[in-house]
Amino acid sequence: MSDTFTARVEQPGGPVHAGSGDLYSYTVNMGAGDQEAPGRSPRSIADDQLRLVRQQFVDPAGMGMARRVLDASSTVILHGAPGSGRTAAACVLLYEVHQSTGIFRELLPGEEEGVLTDPGLVGVGDRLLLNLAEADVSQWAQTRRDLSALRKAVQEQQAHLVVVMPHDGALESRLQPYRADIARPPAMEVFRRHLRLHRIPYEEYGLPAPALDEFLAEEPSMEEIAHFADRVRRARAAFPVRDGFATWCEQSRDARTQWRKEVSELVATRCTAAQRALQFATAMLHGAHADVIHRGAALLLSTLNTPRDETPLLEGKDLAERLKEIGAAAGPDSRVRFDRLDYDAAVRAHFWDHMPDLRHLFSTWTVQSAELDDPHIRQDLRKRLVSRLADQYLRTGRGNDLAFLAEEWSAAPTSRARLEAAVDALACGLSDPRYGRSLRMLVYYWCRDKHLTGSLAHVLLRVCTDVIAPAHPDQAVTRLHHLARRERGATPALDALCRLAVTSARLRRRILDRLTCHSTAPTVDARLFLRICDPEALTDPAGAPRPLIDEKGVQDCVVAGWAEALARLPQPHWQPYAERWLHTACTADNHRDRMLGLLVDAAGRNGSTLAALYSVARAAEPTAPGGRASGAATTERLIQKISAAQGLRPPAPPTPPAPPRGTTR
């Protein structure tokens, strides 16, 4: 794919997961004087998410066999019925083989990561998930043909691979030894595990509950059980005294089945604009302080240009009475909630489904509410607010529109709250299993070609590092590279690319290859190369059998990259990087000759370039590790290699003076 360089970046400025869906739901310059600290690395984000899955997980029948197969052959093919927690089981298996090297990632055949037979797809110690639970017949057949080559690379790199196969998929006899069948874990045990994680004592949930028995008799998926348990937790938190476990379970059941009809009837009877505005604001800001609910309802009326009620304030109904009319109330903490569990979700769905002409105004109201200056509006409330709006887009098949909503919200002028809302909205779409793939492709095209106005570059950067990179680092590399190419001045995308390279030698190798051997913008990529080509990282094996600099392919990239940098960039730009390269050579005794040789090979037979390298080496001697003598020795070795490259004999060492007559040496 060709790159477009006419575009310009302006102003760079406890989830539940129990077996299905995507596991994965940093920071940059936001303008002069408004900077954020670097966020967590993609590796730490992925590890935290896997740890959460492990805490929620109940071993299904067959899990022990799956562990033994993975331990013996580094590969296991999981087979199980839909809803049995296959994806969660795969993630737990990979979490349990965590190593100091390598990263967790999900392979995505058919997207951008090449064919499964590419040996470069696997890094040392990587933990790979190949989820083909929903694959069609042809995709599963192709995967089976490629699996031997992939398994060979996995074993050579001391990595681990878990494949989730289609429930009705075929498996040849040669692959049967790697198969492990898992069954649904005991539903009641899964339910109680979630309640224990919610810190609910056994004395409370170890009681009979007919509504729970009725629910579990339906053989729900692991994900549905997790949601049911979460509703029980919230029912207990809302009504801890007057109700017991059986009633909490009844409320959780009714929240699944009955509220939509009752909401429809309530909205029909509460027909004034003020009442409906209060209903919608309470549903969207559910659990917020009463002051926030009041301001949110007034803001909605203003957004809809509703004529103001002229009733004198002291004659009108107070907020408590108005909330009672819609089935809500403020608790002792002044936080407003409906009096029935998950009633807020039913209200949101009703307004979205039955008032389609107001959807864009609801979106406008959402971001304006997130920007309200109120001490009770904190970041967690803003995130919940945006997530509740995003849920409506996703629920009604409009997930891709979240990208355009993020673009609108990040347009200049913007605010920190609006910008965070844009990031959160797009992140919700990327984390959804139905829309993740199409939105990742849209983010790719935007990073590569789109005219990035306002703070859209910031939004794209954030989702690349926080959402895409933890499970799909190769795709994050591609997108960050395109963003970095377009930066002027500040380099947040390049900084993020460098941090991503630190997590995996395989990723650094991949980035170097993109910047050199497959570059379509050599001058721009030469600048990026100097940052990525960190000599210490190249000479440190970091747990691998050998360092990157010993690989022929990496050596070719280093020579090609330095050749472009020396030829295309002014000396003041590349000199600090050359000094760092020479200083590393001073201490890397086993790699000094190779490092100096690669630098000389990059200069070729260009006399002026070789002379410039020599002058840089002389200038770097005083600050060399080990002092001037160490730097001088490296310079001496460099001049010998320069002489050899020019076909000159290295100068003979000086003849020592003759000893005085009558003495012995």
Contact 427, 25 (CB under 8 A): yes
Q: Give the pLDDT score at 397.
A: 95
Cα torsion at 258, 260, 265, 267 (round to 10°)? Answer: 140
Cα–Cα dist 469/466, whole Å: 6
CA separation (Å) from 395 to 17, 243, 399, 428, 515? 18, 32, 8, 12, 40
What secondary structure letter does DSSP report for 350? H
Structure tokens at 253: 């059941």
Give me 8's structure tokens. Answer: 């310009």
Phi, psi of 179 (to 5 degrees): -90, 140
Residues of the chain with CATH 3.40.50.300: 59-181
The set of residues, in sequence order, having a beta carbon less than 8 Å from that of 150 and lying 6+ positions away, is 116, 117, 121, 122, 161
Contact between 103 and 123 (Cβ < 8 Å): yes
Which has more pLDDT, 477 or 605? 477
> To the nearest 10°, the Cα dihedral for 475, 476, 480, 483?
60
Percent of the chain's residues with pLDDT above 70:
89
Residue 652 — very low, low, confident or very high, per pLDDT cuts 50/70/90? very low
What are the percentages of helix, strand and coil residues in the chain, rounded to 5? 60, 5, 35
pLDDT of amino acid 520: 87
Q: What would the 3-class secondary structure string for 37-59 be?
A: CCCCCHHHHHHHHHHHHHHHCCC
Q: Using 50, 70 and 90 to split pLDDT, how confident is the model at 116?
A: confident
pLDDT of residue 299: 96
> Mean of the per-residue pLDDT values for the chain?
87
- Per-residue pLDDT, averaged over 257-281, amounts to 82
Q: Which residues make beta-bridge pairs with 338?
A: 328
pLDDT, tens digit, for every residue of 601-627? Answer: 999 989 999 999 999 999 999 999 989
- What average pLDDT does range 361-386 have in this prediction? 96
Radius of gyration over alpha carbons of the chain, in Å? 31
Which of the four pLDDT bands, split at 50, 70 and 90, describes residue 114?
Answer: low
- pLDDT tens, position by position, 7-24: 333 333 333 333 333 333
Give me the mean pLDDT over the 132-145 stretch: 92
Residues in the chain: 665
- 192, 197, 200, 205 alpha-carbon torsion, rounded to 10°: 0
CATH class of 59-181: alpha beta
Name the helix (H) or strand (E) containing 161: strand 160-164
- Residue-wise pLDDT for 397-418, tens only, equals 999 999 999 999 999 888 999 9
pTM of the model: 0.86
For the cut 60, the answer to whether the pLDDT of residue 37 exceeds it is no
Look at 201-210, 496-505, 589-598 and tell me which has the smallest mean pLDDT: 201-210
Q: Could you read off the pLDDT of 504-557 as tens digits, one per residue?
A: 999 999 999 999 988 889 999 999 999 999 999 999 988 788 999 999 999 999
